C-alpha cells in the first residue's frame, strides 16, 4: 500500500522531530557511506566497469573567437586505436546554460565563443589513443578580430541587466543622501574569476538500450540535468536514465550538465558501444564554468553616530553573450543592514570567456567581500567597534521588502564570537600589534546566506523484515545527504540506522531538487519526513491507535494500550511518498541563515607574507540535522573564504581569453599548510517557518563573509586596505609600515 503526503509550506508548523526522545537528528553521526568511501567501494562515475568501453577525449578550441572552417578527421583517425571523431555542432559546441531546460538549443553553428570551447570528441579503444588522436586532430579556424578579451577595454560596452528584475532595488534617494552624508564610504571592490575546483573531474559514461540512454554522470541535480540532457539530445526525458550515486564535490560546477555528457551520449549512440569521457583538469578550468569576476561599488552613508541611512551596491559582472546567469553579488545586501535609501543595480559585460555560473554561495560569497569590508571602513570612520556598528544597524524587519525575518540571530552570533575569540584583544588602531617581524591583526564580518525550499519528492518503504528503503534522486556531493536522510527516517519510524538503506542519485527514483543553493538537506529531508509521516499514519491505522498517541521506538509501536513489535505488525511493504514545496511562508518572511566570522592574521612586516593564524565561525542555521556533517560544511566554506581572500585568481589572457592558470599548480587554493585552526560554533535555533524539519541551509553559509573577516584582519594588522582581491603580498609590499 502506498500513500502520498503533499505539503506546501504556507504556515508555520510544528515538527515531529521535537517529539523524539534520544533522537538521531542533531547528533554528529558519522557518514553511513564513509566505510564505502574509505575502502574504495563507493563507485564514482568514471569507475563503472563496462564491457566494450570506448574512451572519448574532448577537443577544445584554440582560438578565443571565430568560426571552425574544417575539422580534418583523418588526422586523428590515422592514430592507432582511434575509432571516430565526433562533431555535432548542434549539441555540444558550447556549454549549455546551467539548468536552462526551457531555452532553445544552441543552434547549429560552428562559432567559437571562447578559448577552450569543446568542438569535437575523439573516441578510441584506449584513453591514451583518444588523447593522442585529439592532439593530432587538425582544425582550421577563421579567427574573428573583435573578441572581447580585455575587461577594462570592454567596460564601456556594459549593459544594465534588465532580464531579471527582482534582484535590483531602489528606494529613497541613495546618490543624493550619500553625497550629503555625515560619514561615508564609497569604494570599488574587484574580485577575479574563480573556479570551483572540485576534486572529482567532470565525467560521464554513456550507453544506449534501444532508444533509451543510460548515463552515469557526476552531477548535483539529477532531475533537472536529466531534462537538460534530454533537451540537448532532442529526446523525451523518459528515455534518459541519469545516475549520480557519488559525487566528488561540485560547488556549483555540476549544477548543470557540461559538454562531456552530451558528447559521450552522441558517441555511444553513433558507435553502438559505451563511451566514457573524463575531462582533464585543464578542461574543467577551460570548458565548464567559472564564477564571474566582479567590480562592485559599495556606497555607505551614515550619520555621525554611525546610523546607516544609505546603502548602494552596484555591480559589474561578466558572462558569455546570450547567457542569462549573472553573479548576484548583492543578495545579502538587501537585508543585512537597515537604512532607508537603498540601491542595488547590475550591469553585464559580455566577454569571450568560458561560461560564468554558480559557484558556492553565488552572490554572497563575493558580495560580502565588498560589503563587509566597507562596513569595517565605516566603523573606523565613525570611530566605533565594527561589531557595535553592526548592532546599531540591525534591522527589525527586512529593510528592502518590509517583511519579517523567519529567524535571525546575527547579533547573538557576533557577541558569542567576540567573547569566544577574545575580540577585546584587538587593537582599534591598525598596525599596532607586533610579534617580532610579524604584524598581528583581527577582523570580523557578518555571514548571511538566503534560505530556500525547493520542490522535492521521496519514497520510503518499510518491509516486513523491518528494513527501510529511502529513495529519491537527491545527490550526496560530499555533504552528508545519505546520513542525514537516514537520521530523519530513524527518528520518525523509531528504527535504528542499521536497518535503513538510503538510495540516491538515480533518475528512476522520485525527483528531488538536488544539491544546490544550500537547499539540499532541508528540501530532500522534508520530503523524506513527509513520506515517513505517511508510514506512521498507516501503522497507527493498522493498529487502531490514534495518531496523536503513536509512539515508535526501538522497532516497537506503543500507545496507552501497550507495545507491539513492528515485526508482528508489518506483513507487507508499507510505502509512503512525500512531496514538499515552498509556499506562502517563503514570500511573507525573509529566510536566511546568519553567522559571524572572526579571523586573526599575521603579516610579515618585511616580506608581506600573510598567514592566517585562527578562524572562528559562529553559525545559526535553524535545526542542525547532523552536528558533524554540518560542521564539516562550515569548515569547507571557511577554507573557500580563505582562498577567495588570499589566493584564488582565475586569470584570462587578455589576447584570447584563454585561462593561463588552468591547473591546480597555478590556480592557488588553500592547502593544509595554509589552513589554520578553524573553530566552528553552531548556535541552537529553530525556525517553524522554513520547513517541517525547522532547518535552514548551511552548505554555503561558511564561505559568506569569511574572506572579508580576513581582509579586515589584514587591514587591522597593517593599516593597508586592498580593494582588489586576492590580497597577495605584492599588493602590500610597498606600503608596509616601517619596522
CB-nearer residue toward ligand MOS: 441 or 517: 517
- Retrieve residue 133's grid coordinates: 588522436
d(CA 263, CA 615): 43
Residue 101 beta carbon to ligand MOS: minimum distance, rounded to whole angstroms: 16
- Retrieve residue 296's grid coordinates: 562592485
d(CA 95, CA 228): 11
Residue 294 beta carbon to ligand MOS: minimum distance, rounded to whole angstroms: 15
CB-nearer residue toward ligand MOS: 358 or 593: 358
User: Which residue from 205, 359, 379, 484 is in contact with ligand MOS, where contact means CB under 6 A?
Assistant: 359
User: Which residue from 362, 386, 399, 622 is in contact with ligand MOS, where contact means CB under 6 A?
Assistant: 362
By rule CB under 6 A, what string of x and - marks binding of each residue 442-461 to ligand MOS?
Answer: --------------------
Interface with ligand MOS, residue 250, by CB under 6 A: yes
Interface with ligand MOS, residue 367, by CB under 6 A: no
User: Which residue from 516, 637, 657, 697 is in contact with ligand MOS, where contact means CB under 6 A?
Assistant: 516
Interface with ligand MOS, residue 707, by CB under 6 A: no
Interface with ligand MOS, residue 658, by CB under 6 A: no
Interface segment toward ligand MOS; rule CB under 6 A; list 83-91, 251-259, 543-551, 715-723: 251-259
- Cβ contact 696:593 at 8 Å: yes
d(CA 166, CA 330): 12
Q: What's the per-residue H, E or C state across 592-652?
A: EEEEEEEEEEEEECCCCCEEEEEEEEEEECECCCEHHHHHHHHHHHHHHHHHHHHCCCECE
By rule CB under 6 A, what string of x and - marks binding of each residue 385-424 to ligand MOS?
Answer: ----------------------------------------
Residue 655 beta carbon to ligand MOS: minimum distance, rounded to whole angstroms: 30
CB-nearer residue toward ligand MOS: 358 or 489: 358
Spatial CA neighbour of 468 closest among 450, 494, 443: 494
Beta-carbon contacts of 130 under 8 Å, excluding residues fewer than 6 positions away, are: 55, 56, 57, 81, 82, 122, 123, 124
Spatial CA neighbour of 552 closest among 5, 20, 193: 20
- Taking each helix axis from N to C end, the angle separating 706-718 and 364-382, rounded to the nearest 10 degrees, works out to 40
Spatial CA neighbour of 47 closest among 174, 218, 233: 218
Question: Binders of ligand MOS among 560-619, rule CB under 6 A?
Answer: none
Residue 117, CA distances (Å) to 65, 145, 254, 710 in order: 10, 17, 17, 36
Tell me the β-bridge partners of 387.
Answer: none
Tally of CB atoms within 10 A around 728: 17
Number of H helices, E strands in the chain: 18, 29
Residue 257 beta carbon to ligand MOS: minimum distance, rounded to whole angstroms: 14
Interface with ligand MOS, residue 255, by CB under 6 A: yes
User: Which residue from 328, 399, 480, 517 is in contact with ligand MOS, where contact means CB under 6 A?
Assistant: 517
Interface with ligand MOS, residue 26, by CB under 6 A: no
Sign of the torsion formed by the C-alpha atoms of 530, 531, 534 and 535:
negative
Tell me the β-bridge partners of 602.
Answer: 440, 611
CB-nearer residue toward ligand MOS: 115 or 251: 251
CB-nearer residue toward ligand MOS: 256 or 395: 256
Interface with ligand MOS, residue 514, by CB under 6 A: no
Interface with ligand MOS, residue 293, by CB under 6 A: no
By rule CB under 6 A, what string of x and - marks binding of each residue 299-338 to ligand MOS?
Answer: ----------------------------------------
Interface segment toward ligand MOS; rule CB under 6 A; list 272-280, 354-362, 449-457, 618-626: 354-362
CB-nearer residue toward ligand MOS: 494 or 517: 517
Spatial CA neighbour of 611 closest among 664, 705, 680, 677: 677
Residue with cell 537603498: 342
Rounded to a whole number of angstroms, the CA Rg of the chain reads 27
d(CA 169, CA 334): 8
- Retrieve residue 45's grid coordinates: 562515475
Question: Binders of ligand MOS among 201-230, rule CB under 6 A?
Answer: 220
Of 323, 377, 380, 700, the active-site residue reads 700
Residue 252 beta carbon to ligand MOS: minimum distance, rounded to whole angstroms: 3
Residue 337 beta carbon to ligand MOS: minimum distance, rounded to whole angstroms: 24
How is residue 287 annotated by DSSP? H
CB-nearer residue toward ligand MOS: 242 or 312: 242
Interface segment toward ligand MOS; rule CB under 6 A; list 69-77, 201-209, 246-254, 623-631: 246-254
Residue nearest to ligand MOS (CB): 252
Residue 351, CA distances (Å) to 51, 442, 597 in order: 43, 38, 34
**700 annotated active-site:** yes
- Cβ contact 332:450 at 8 Å: yes
Residue 360 beta carbon to ligand MOS: minimum distance, rounded to whole angstroms: 5
CB-nearer residue toward ligand MOS: 315 or 358: 358
d(CA 362, CA 72): 40
Interface segment toward ligand MOS; rule CB under 6 A; list 245-253, 405-413, 579-587, 608-616: 245-253
CB-nearer residue toward ligand MOS: 99 or 576: 99
Judged by CB under 6 A, how many residues of this single chain contact ligand MOS? 11
User: Which residue from 149, 251, 423, 640 is in contact with ligand MOS, where contact means CB under 6 A?
Assistant: 251
- Retrieve residue 332's grid coordinates: 545579502
Interface with ligand MOS, residue 252, by CB under 6 A: yes
Q: What's the per-residue H, E or C state across 157-171?
A: HCEECCCCCCCCEEE
Beta pairing class for 118-124 and 275-278: unpaired
- Cβ contact 61:109 at 8 Å: no
CB-nearer residue toward ligand MOS: 367 or 576: 367
- Retrieve residue 190's grid coordinates: 574587484
d(CA 591, CA 260): 36
- Catalytic site positions: 700
Question: Which residues in this chain contact ligand MOS in the complex, by CB under 6 A?
Answer: 220, 250-252, 255, 358-360, 362, 516-517
Amino acid at each position: 500500500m502506498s500513500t502520498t503526503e503533499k505539503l506546501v509550506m504556507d504556515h508555520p508548523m510544528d515538527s515531529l522531530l521535537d517529539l523524539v526522545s534520544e533522537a538521531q537528528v542533531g547528533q554528529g553521526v558519522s557518514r553511513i557511506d564513509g566505510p564505502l568511501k574509505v575502502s574504495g567501494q563507493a563507485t564514482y562515475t568514471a569507475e563503472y566497469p563496462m564491457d566494450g568501453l570506448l574512451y572519448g577525449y574532448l577537443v577544445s578550441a584554440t582560438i578565443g573567437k571565430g568560426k571552425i572552417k574544417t575539422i580534418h578527421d583523418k588526422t586523428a583517425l590515422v592514430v592507432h586505436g582511434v575509432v571516430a571523431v565526433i562533431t555535432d555542432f548542434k549539441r555540444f559546441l558550447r556549454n549549455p546554460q546551467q539548468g536552462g531546460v526551457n531555452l532553445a538549443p544552441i543552434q547549429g553553428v560552428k562559432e567559437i565563443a571562447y578559448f577552450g570551447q569543446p568542438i569535437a570528441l575523439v573516441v578510441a579503444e584506449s584513453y591514451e589513443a583518444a588523447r593522442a588522436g585529439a592532439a593530432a586532430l587538425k582544425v582550421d579556424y577563421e579567427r574573428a578580430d573583435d573578441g572581447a578579451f580585455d575587461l577594462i577595454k570592454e567596460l564601456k560596452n556594459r549593459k544594465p541587466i534588465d532580464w531579471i528584475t527582482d534582484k535590483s532595488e531602489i528606494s529613497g534617494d541613495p546618490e543624493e543622501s550619500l553625497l550629503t552624508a555625515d560619514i561615508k564610504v564609497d569604494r570599488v571592490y574587484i574580485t577575479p574569476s574563480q573556479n570551483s575546483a572540485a576534486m572529482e573531474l567532470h565525467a560521464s559514461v554513456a550507453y544506449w538500450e534501444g532508444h533509451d540512454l543510460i548515463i552515469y554522470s557526476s552531477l548535483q541535480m539529477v532531475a533537472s540535468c536529466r531534462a537538460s540532457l534530454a533537451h540537448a539530445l532532442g529526446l523525451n526525458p523518459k528515455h534518459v536514465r541519469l545516475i549520480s550515486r557519488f559525487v566528488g564535490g561540485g560547488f556549483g560546477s555540476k549544477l548543470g550538465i557540461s559538454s562531456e555528457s552530451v558528447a559521450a551520449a552522441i558517441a555511444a549512440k553513433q558507435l553502438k558501444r559505451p563511451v566514457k569521457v573524463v575531462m582533464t583538469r585543464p578542461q574543467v578550468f577551460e570548458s565548464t564554468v567559472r564564477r564571474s569576476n566582479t567590480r562592485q561599488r559599495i556606497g555607505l552613508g551614515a550619520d555621525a553616530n554611525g546610523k546607516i541611512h544609505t546603502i548602494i551596491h552596484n555591480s559589474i559582472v561578466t558572462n558569455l553573450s546570450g547567457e542569462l546567469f549573472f553573479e548576484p553579488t548583492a543578495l545579502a545586501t538587501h537585508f543585512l543592514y537597515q537604512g532607508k535609501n537603498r540601491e542595488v543595480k547590475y550591469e553585464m559585460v559580455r566577454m569571450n570567456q568560458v561560461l560564468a555560473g554558480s559557484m558556492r554561495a553565488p552572490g554572497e560569497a563575493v558580495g560580502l567581500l565588498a560589503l563587509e569590508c566597507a562596513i569595517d571602513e565605516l566603523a573606523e570612520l565613525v570611530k566605533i567597534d565594527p561589531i557595535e556598528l553592526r548592532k546599531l544597524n540591525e534591522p527589525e524587519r527586512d529593510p528592502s521588502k518590509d517583511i519579517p525575518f523567519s529567524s535571525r540571530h546575527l547579533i547573538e552570533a557576533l557577541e558569542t564570537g567576540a567573547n569566544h575569540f577574545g575580540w577585546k584583544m584587538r587593537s582599534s588602531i591598525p598596525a599596532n600589534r607586533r610579534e617580532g617581524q610579524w604584524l598581528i591583526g583581527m577582523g570580523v564580518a557578518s555571514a548571511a546566506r538566503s534560505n530556500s525550499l525547493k520542490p522535492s519528492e521521496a519514497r520510503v518503504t518499510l518491509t516486513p523484515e523491518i528494513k527501510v528503503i529511502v529513495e529519491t534522486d537527491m545527490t550526496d556531493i560530499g555533504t552528508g545527504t545519505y546520513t542525514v536522510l537516514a537520521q530523519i527516517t530513524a527518528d520518525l519510524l523509531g528504527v535504528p540506522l542499521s536497518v535503513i538503506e538510503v538510495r540516491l542519485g538515480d533518475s528512476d527514483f522520485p525527483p528531488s531538487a538536488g544539491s544546490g543553493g544550500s537547499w539540499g538537506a532541508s528540501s530532500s529531508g522534508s520530503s523524506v519526513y513527509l513520506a515517513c509521516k505517511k508510514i506512521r499514519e498507516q501503522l497507527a491505522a493498522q493498529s487502531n491507535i490514534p495518531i496523536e498517541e503513536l509512539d515508535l521506538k526501538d522497532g516497537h509501536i506503543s500507545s496507552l494500550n501497550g507495545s507491539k513489535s513492528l515485526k508482528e505488525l508489518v506483513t507487507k511493504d508499507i510505502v509512503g511518498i512525500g512531496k514538499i514545496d515552498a509556499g506562502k511562508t517563503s514570500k511573507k518572511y525573509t529566510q536566511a541563515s546568519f553567522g559571524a566570522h572572526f579571523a586573526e592574521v599575521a603579516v610579515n612586516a618585511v616580506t608581506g607574507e600573510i598567514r592566517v593564524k585562527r578562524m572562528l565561525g559562529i553559525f545559526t542555521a535553524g535545526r542542525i540535522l547532523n552536528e558533524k556533517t554540518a560542521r564539516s560544511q562550515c569548515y569547507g566554506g571557511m577554507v573557500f573564504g580563505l582562498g577567495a581572500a588570499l589566493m584564488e585568481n582565475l586569470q584570462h589572457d587578455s589576447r584570447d581569453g584563454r585561462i593561463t592558470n588552468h591547473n591546480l599548480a597555478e590556480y592557488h587554493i588553500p592547502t593544509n599548510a595554509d589552513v589554520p585552526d578553524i573553530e566552528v560554533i553552531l548556535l541552537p535555533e529553530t525556525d517553524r517557518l522554513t520547513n517541517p524539519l525547522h532547518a535552514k541551509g548551511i552548505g554555503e553559509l561558511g564561505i559568506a563573509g569569511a574572506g572579508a573577516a580576513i581582509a579586515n584582519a589584514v587591514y587591522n594588522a597593517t593599516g593597508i586596505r586592498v580593494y582588489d582581491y586576492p590580497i597577495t603580498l605584492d599588493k602590500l609590499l610597498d606600503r608596509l609600515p616601517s619596522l
